[in-house]
Amino acid sequence: MGNKTPLYQSHLDAGARIVDFAGWDMPINYGSQIAEHEAVRTDAGMFDVSHMTVVDVSGGDAKAYLQHLLANDVARLQMPGKALYSCMLNQTGGVIDDLIAYFLHDNFYRVVINSATREKDLAWLDQQAGAYADLGIRFRGDVAMLAVQGPSARERAIDLFADYQQKSMQQLIRFQGAEFDDCFVARTGYTGEDGFEIMTLAEQMPDLWQRLLQAGVKPCGLGARDTLRLEAGMNLYGADMDETTSPLVSGLGWTVAMSDERDFIGKQALLDQQSAGIKQSFVGLVLLDKGVLRNHLRVVTPQGDGEITSGSYSPTLQKSIAMARIPAGASGEVEVEVRNKLLKAKIVKLPFVREGKSMLNNGGNNK
Amino acid sequence: MSDVPAELKYLSSHEWVLVEGNTATIGVTDHAQELLGDLVYVELPEQGSAVAAGDSVGVIESVKAASDTFAPVSGEVIEVNEELEGSPERINHDPYGDGWMYKVAMEDLEEIEDLLDAGAYSETIADEE
Give yes or no for B38 touching A (CB within 8 A): yes
Domain of A293: which CATH number? 2.40.30.110
Integer Cα distance of A279 and A270 in angstroms: 13
pLDDT at A363 over 70: no
A340 Cβ under 8 Å from any chain B Cβ: no
Judged by CB atoms closer than 8 Å, whether chains meet at A312 and B41 is answered as no
**Torsion sign across C-alpha atoms A182, A185, A186, A191:** positive
- Please state the three-class secondary structure of chain B as a single string: CCCCCCCCEECCCCEEEEEECCEEEEEECHHHHHHHCCEEEEECCCCCCEECCCCEEEEEEECCCEEEEECCCCEEEEEECCHHHHCCCHHHHCCCCCCCCEEEEECCHHHHHHCECHHHHHHHHHCCC
Residue B16 lies in a domain: yes
Given a cut of 60, whether residue B129 has pLDDT beyond it is no
Q: CA-to-CA distance for A246 and A253, rounded, in angstroms?
A: 9
pLDDT in tens, A89-124: 999 999 999 999 999 998 999 999 999 999 999 999
DSSP string, A248-295: GGTT-GGG---SSS---TTHHHHHHHHHH---EEEEEEEE-SSS---T
The pLDDT of residue B128: 66
Q: In this structure, is residue A301 part of a structural domain? A: yes
Give domain status of residue A347, yes or no: yes
Asked whether residue B26 is domain-assigned, the answer is: yes
Length reported for chain A:
367
pTM listed for this prediction: 0.94
Residue B105 lies in a domain: yes
Mean per-residue pLDDT, B87-91: 96
Residues B61, A291: C-beta atoms closer than 8 Å: yes
pLDDT digits (tens, 9 = 90+) for A165-213: 999 999 999 999 999 888 999 999 999 999 999 999 999 999 999 999 9
Mean per-residue pLDDT for B49-78? Answer: 96
Split at pLDDT 50, 70, 90, the class of B101 is very high
Answer yes or no: is pLDDT of A367 > 70.
no
CA distance A303 to B100: 43
Name the DSSP class of A76.
Answer: G
**A291-332: pLDDT as tens digits:** 999 999 999 999 999 999 999 999 999 999 999 999 999 999
Determine the Cα–Cα distance for residues B93 and A145; give it in Å rounded to an integer: 33
pLDDT in tens, B3-36: 999 999 999 999 999 999 999 999 999 999 999 9
What pLDDT sits at residue B118?
97
For A64-89, what is the mean pLDDT? 97
Answer yes or no: are the C-beta atoms of A292 and B41 closer than 8 Å. yes
Q: Is residue A328 part of a domain?
A: yes
In whole numbers, what is the pLDDT of chain A averaged over residues?
Answer: 96
Residue A355 is part of which domain span? 279-364
Residue A221 counted as domain residue: no
Contacts of B40 in chain A (CB under 8 A): 34, 292, 313, 320
What pLDDT sits at residue A155? 97
Q: pLDDT band for position A260 (50/70/90)?
A: confident
- DSSP per-residue letters across A152-198: THHHHHHTTS-HHHHHHHHHPPTTBEEEETTEEEES--SSSS-EEEE
- Interface with chain B: mutation pick from A21, A33, A319, highest number of B CBs within 10 Å: A33
Q: Is residue A230 part of a domain?
A: no
Domain that holds residue B89: 9-109
Asked whether residue A298 is domain-assigned, the answer is yes
Nearest-CA distance B81 → chain A (Å): 17
The count of domains in chain B is 1
CA dist., res. A262 & res. A68, Å (int): 8
Domain of B46, CATH number, reads: 2.40.50.100
Buried b (16+ CB within 10 A) or exposed e, A176-193: bbbbeeebbbbbbbbbbb
Q: What is the ipTM of this complex?
A: 0.86
pLDDT band (50, 70, 90) for residue B127: confident
**Chain B CA closest to residue A19:** B35
Q: For residue A259, name the pLDDT band (cuts at 50, 70, 90).
A: confident
By the 8 A CB rule, do A236 and A177 touch? no
